[in-house]
Structure 1
Amino acid sequence: MSRRSMLRGAALGGAGLGLANLFPAWAQPGSPGLAPQMPTLSGDDIHLKVAASPFTVGGRTGHAITMNGVLPAPLVRLREGQNVRIHVENALDEDTSIHWHGFILPFHMDGVPGISFPGIPPRTTFTYEFPIVQNGTYWYHSHSGLQEQIGHYGPIVIDPAEPDPVAYDREHVIVLSDWTFLHPHSLFGKLKKQGGYFNRERQTLAGLVGDGDDLARNMPLDERLMWGRMRMDPTDIADVTGSTYTYLINGHGPAENWTGLFRPGERVRLRFINASAMSIFNIRIPGLPMTMVQADGQNVRPVETDEFQISVAETYDAIVTPTEDKAYTLVAESIDRSGMGRATLAPRMGMQAPVPPLRPKPVLGMKDMGMGAMDHAAMGHGSMQGMDHGSGGGGMGHDMRDKSLVPSDVKVGVGVDMIAPMPVDRTGNKPLGLEDAPHRVLTYHDLAPLTPFHDKREPTRSVDIHLTGNMERFMWSFDGRKLNEGAEPIRFARNERVRVNLINNSMMSHPIHIHGHFFEVVTGMPHGHPVKHTVNVMPGGKASFDLTADAPGDWAFHCHLLYHMHAGMMNVVKVRPMDDGGESA
């Protein structure tokens, strides 16, 4: 069965369980039922039970870790100004935890084992207790092992104490995630043995003549041969793809068609949460523009767009106003175009709209190698001669012999196979694969805070953090050093104002998240500095943010691609002194 035929079948809703095995993983149906309203918990005392549960998709049943027996976990609905106690019972045979992603709270309630608390042992209950000092769209998930991959995540909405500046008639929470039947440790093992294990879209000999939708349609032959000489893969967009992932929306696969209802003329608020382990999504609703009103729980000045990219761990709120009595397809296409999550907005249950086919797969280019300031001619001649990609696992991607390319604070070794020679700020660029989209595409430069950041001071110092890795060996780090293997903690003085420069020396996107703080993304912003807790750093690019270190304690700082964090792309931010005046570790 061809891919075109499979897509046509999905669009017609003909993927019954009997036909499930004919469809790729991304097109398999998910959990039973189409009810658009998820279980909701609220109040000052909330109870969550973490336990092993079966999860069925495509006629197969796998092992999941759920909260209160559902995937995703229940929606936790809180109100700004309340104090909440959340009692978490661990019914597993292993330790667990819950991190409250994007929350401002005491560090010992942040929920990161080994950094802010010991974890929750089996058959015990731990009570989180903290005041709610913010509002917006957030989420919660495990920070223990790889539990997040198999269902340990859920959405949070915090209603504002004051009237909401965003007017809407109805809302839907949209939780995006990825599911695989592979055990997470088995999946990680496959990535360690072969970095591109799940990439089924590599260059082929037939592609040299432009067979089908191969790369030859959008990559010149000389450029393809150049990539071959460097032993690099321009199709290595995502580490884990639709070859094993089913992309879920609120726990439902594309063929099951989760449906959110509306009445024509209503302002519908869509709260998007990317709770994936590894999947970055491009979001669009064909025929229905979206007005973005919030990013990472922080209100932004309304800006209309037709498509936006949501990286892992980010949240975006959008207002849509469907005026016609018809269905609209909500498309969450994976960044590498290997699959999609699909849902429907409709006036009535059972309605559907056409599902667009997957678009041609994107490929990496010079900017993604950190050569954004070089033209193609220079790349093909002068600079190419200085590259050495055949030196084995310990060689630098861009000529290890040229030590001037290696920053003094980066530890060079087998875990670093590339240094971007000319990284540039890419926060204003259209996201990877959407550069030539014929419609409006959101960038960070389009985001302006509705309320400016509270701290107007200029930074007193600057810190460079290099995002480093060896893609073939699946080794990931900051500055060439992995957590617990020589990485010194990042130390900030309490209330210090500091500029952090993230420099991506790899050809992968990295959503970088800091716990317990928000920051201003600052470089080149024409409309103001968006306030976020997670920033996606594009391949070979840079992103800078200004941080006020006003939360004393120890905080996790990491790439939110789960397997990158697990491989070592994580560190600890220490903010001192503490409330008792202590400055010790």
Structure 2
Amino acid sequence: MTNINRRHLLRSAVGGAGLAALSGLLPAWAQTGTGGLPPVLSGEDIRLRVGHSIYRVGGREGHAITINGVLPAPLIRLREGQRVRLHVENGLDEDTSIHWHGLILPFHMDGVPGISFPGIAPGETFTYEFPVLQNGTYWYHSHSGLQEQLGHYGPLVIDPQGQDPVAYDREHVIVLSDWTFLHPHQVIGKLKQEGGYFNRQRLAMLGDPAENTMSAEDRRMWGAMRMDPTDIADVTGSTYTYLINGHGPDDNWTALFRPGERVRLRIINASAMSIFNIRIPGLPVTVVQADGQNVRPVEVDEFQISVAETYDVIVSPPDDRAYTFVAESIDRSGLARATLAPRLGMSAEVPPLRPRPLLSMRDMGMGGMDHGAMGHGSAAAASCPPEHAAMGHCTPGDAGADAEQAMSHDMRDPSLVPSTVTVGVGVDMIAPMPVDRTGDRPLGLEDEPHRVLTYHDLAPLTPFPDKRPPTRSVDIHLTGNMERFMWSFDGRTLNEGTEPIRFARNERVRVNLINNSMMNHPIHLHGHFFEVVTGQAHGDPIKHTVNVMPGGIASFNLTADAPGDWAFHCHLLYHMHAGMMNVVTVRPLDGEGR
């Protein structure tokens, strides 16, 4: 925990200067009613200072770590082809850092302490310098401790060198995040004591039948497996306030438009632990970019944005009225809300939270089990592509019978454990029948009558340049013990001296992420983009972060063209902190021989 005297900091904010600071904590770009491009930091030399601030939301005040005194951090706007120097001064009493999320740059500028540089000591200034090689919507955040949860994050937009293929009349940056008045170390301490500490939506064994959509037999089955079908989000709305540009749901952050305009929303999920389902009731959205990469426009009514992902969408409000932008947490324990309106002071109806979803046998890695049997209300056929069957990831044929057989096994049965996984107290289950879930609708959205985005809908506007087939395949199992809140890759954590994942420079490799847990895991690889393998004729989406659904497999093709040492981790902050992280090493470096 930081050494700053929090009581002194809170007392100092009560005076006139403190009150002024509180009212001005939001940067200009994040203030309500911005009608066009707000003030930003740009140019070749940009100065950032990390420090302590008091942050207020929902009538309460708390300690934040901010950049240039604002939360979220300043919007940085660069141009493709320029060179930039970012001078970061550490005003904290602990080390800090900034990682430029999704940027292609030299590895020693990537900003991960202990991997790509030592970190920035208190009172010191570090200068990041690199060429800007891309365009799109990105963001930046601390990679030191748990500072990201305290407000150390901000948006980064890079304009294209030539004409933007996306036409729009106006744009708004929307940064989603989660805020808790608990110190992050208190949060993870409570999770270590009880994995479901923040879950206030557990099934009641006895209670109003309307509250329980599962049968007594279904509950008995879950109880026998010592697992909880409502364990969807580790940290929930019981402690989180969900924010849009630093504003709570009651603040009615407003983005202006003129009827008929094409409005670009650059949506960034900068939260520590929260996955959101995004919709604007009465207004379809056209997805035009994912993780900073242009995609063929696809119109949907709702989409999920996992932690660390970005989506750019176009909306064209036809009427002179307000619309509600809804970001509902995946477990339906809370939401962030904003308003799109032609004038300030307007608002639209805020829909109530929808009923909380339940996990299914498919989410436990029993890919062929009927979802209706476990509360989802619809069946989904198991998918077992030949390449996954060849690697032992799933079993083709009678998926339903296979799932029934799998249920007879203990989820920790040694016969299920792959040879590459180290099993110990940190691994409490191995998925018996994981399947490719990149085409599945997200949890809770399976039966929505409207159009819901999946990875299969995303097609790159410009195909990935490397057409070579992979020369080898690497399996990485996402493992953990949910009750003890222990998380790892292949049963091993970074601090256990895990061997790095090694790739030869320019090697083309297939990476299979196999989720052996009942949690979603947004997996992020620094310094690279990859193709998420969907098998669609229109091509595979190009991303830097892929959400791996519970009990599922997500594969990507990687060209390891960035020499150096790169962080590879789950972007759920507390999962990474608990050990779900490794280093990807690409060799040789520039100037080295083979």
TM-score (structure 2 length as normaliser): 0.89
> For each residue in 1:441-485, what CA deviation from the matched residue of structure 2 results, as whole angstroms up to 9, or x when unmatched?
000000000000010000000000000000000000000000020
Deviation at 1:399, TM superposition (A): 4.1
Aligned 1:274-423 pairs, distance under 5 A? 274-375=269-370, 382-387=405-410, 398-400=411-413, 403-423=414-434
> For each residue in 1:304-333, what CA deviation from the matched residue of structure 2 results, as whole angstroms up to 9, or x when unmatched?
000000000000000000010000000000
Deviation at 1:525, TM superposition (A): 2.7
Runs of 4+ in 1 over 6 A off after TM superposition: 29-32
Aligned 1:69-108 pairs, distance under 5 A? 69-108=69-108
Aligned 1:181-200 pairs, distance under 5 A? 181-200=181-200
1:210 is matched with which residue?
A: 209
Contact 2:430 2:516 in 1 (8 A): yes
The 3 A distance-change label for structure 1 pair 30 and 49 is closer
1:574 is matched with which residue?
A: 585
Q: Which one-letter code corresponds to 2:49 in the other structure?
A: K
Given the alignment of the two structures, is residue 558 of structure 1 paired with residue 561 of structure 2, yes or no? Answer: no
> For each residue in 1:402-428, what CA deviation from the matched residue of structure 2 results, as whole angstroms up to 9, or x when unmatched?
x33100000000000000000000000
For structure 2, the residue ranges without an aligned partner over 5 or more in a row are 1-22, 374-399
CA distance, structure 2, for counterparts of residue 504 and residue 563 of structure 1: 17
2:447 is matched with which residue?
A: 436
CA distance, structure 2, for counterparts of residue 31 and residue 429 of structure 1: 40
Please, which of 473, 477, 480 is the counterpart of residue 484 of structure 2? 473
> For each residue in 1:532-568, what CA deviation from the matched residue of structure 2 results, as whole angstroms up to 9, or x when unmatched?
0000000000000000000000000000000000000
CA distance, structure 1, for counterparts of residue 60 and residue 349 of structure 2: 27
Given the alignment of the two structures, is residue 271 of structure 1 paired with residue 266 of structure 2, yes or no? Answer: yes
Q: Which one-letter code corresponds to 1:91 in the other structure?
A: G
Secondary structure at the residue paired with 2:553? strand
Deviation at 1:31, TM superposition (A): 6.8
Contact 1:30 1:256 in 2 (8 A): no
> For each residue in 1:248-286, what CA deviation from the matched residue of structure 2 results, as whole angstroms up to 9, or x when unmatched?
000000100100000000000000000000000000000
Secondary structure at the residue paired with 2:519? coil
Contact 2:412 2:428 in 1 (8 A): no
CA distance, structure 2, for counterparts of residue 264 and residue 35 of structure 1: 16
> For each residue in 1:15-37, what CA deviation from the matched residue of structure 2 results, as whole angstroms up to 9, or x when unmatched?
xxxxxxxxxxxxxx997763437
2:32 is matched with which residue?
A: 34
Q: Which one-letter code corresponds to 1:263 in the other structure?
A: R
1:25 is matched with which residue?
A: none
CA distance, structure 2, for counterparts of residue 121 and residue 291 of structure 1: 44
> For each residue in 1:316-367, what CA deviation from the matched residue of structure 2 results, as whole angstroms up to 9, or x when unmatched?
0000000100000000000000000000000000000000000000000010
Q: Which one-letter code corresponds to 1:221 in the other structure?
A: A
Q: Which one-letter code corresponds to 1:144 in the other structure?
A: S
Q: Which one-letter code corresponds to 1:190 in the other structure?
A: K
CA distance, structure 1, for counterparts of residue 323 and residue 82 of structure 2: 37
Q: Which one-letter code corresponds to 1:34 in the other structure?
A: T
Deviation at 1:58, TM superposition (A): 1.9
2:540 is matched with which residue?
A: 529
> For each residue in 1:131-186, what CA deviation from the matched residue of structure 2 results, as whole angstroms up to 9, or x when unmatched?
00000000000000000001000001000001000000000000000000000011
Range moving further from structure 2, 479-488 or 511-520? 479-488
CA distance, structure 2, for counterparts of residue 423 and residue 87 of structure 1: 46
Contact 2:32 2:254 in 1 (8 A): yes
Secondary structure at the residue paired with 1:259? strand
2:158 is matched with which residue?
A: 158
> For each residue in 1:10-56, what CA deviation from the matched residue of structure 2 results, as whole angstroms up to 9, or x when unmatched?
xxxxxxxxxxxxxxxxxxx9977634376510011101110000001
The 3 A distance-change label for structure 1 pair 535 and 237 is same
> For each residue in 1:96-127, what CA deviation from the matched residue of structure 2 results, as whole angstroms up to 9, or x when unmatched?
00000000000000000000000000011111
2:19 is matched with which residue?
A: none
Q: Which one-letter code corresponds to 1:85 in the other structure?
A: R
Aligned 1:422-461 pairs, distance under 5 A? 422-461=433-472
The 3 A distance-change label for structure 1 pair 205 and 265 is same
The 3 A distance-change label for structure 1 pair 330 and 121 is same
CA distance, structure 2, for counterparts of residue 441 and residue 346 of structure 1: 24
The 3 A distance-change label for structure 1 pair 43 and 399 is closer
2:15 is matched with which residue?
A: none
1:5 is matched with which residue?
A: none
1:505 is matched with which residue?
A: 516
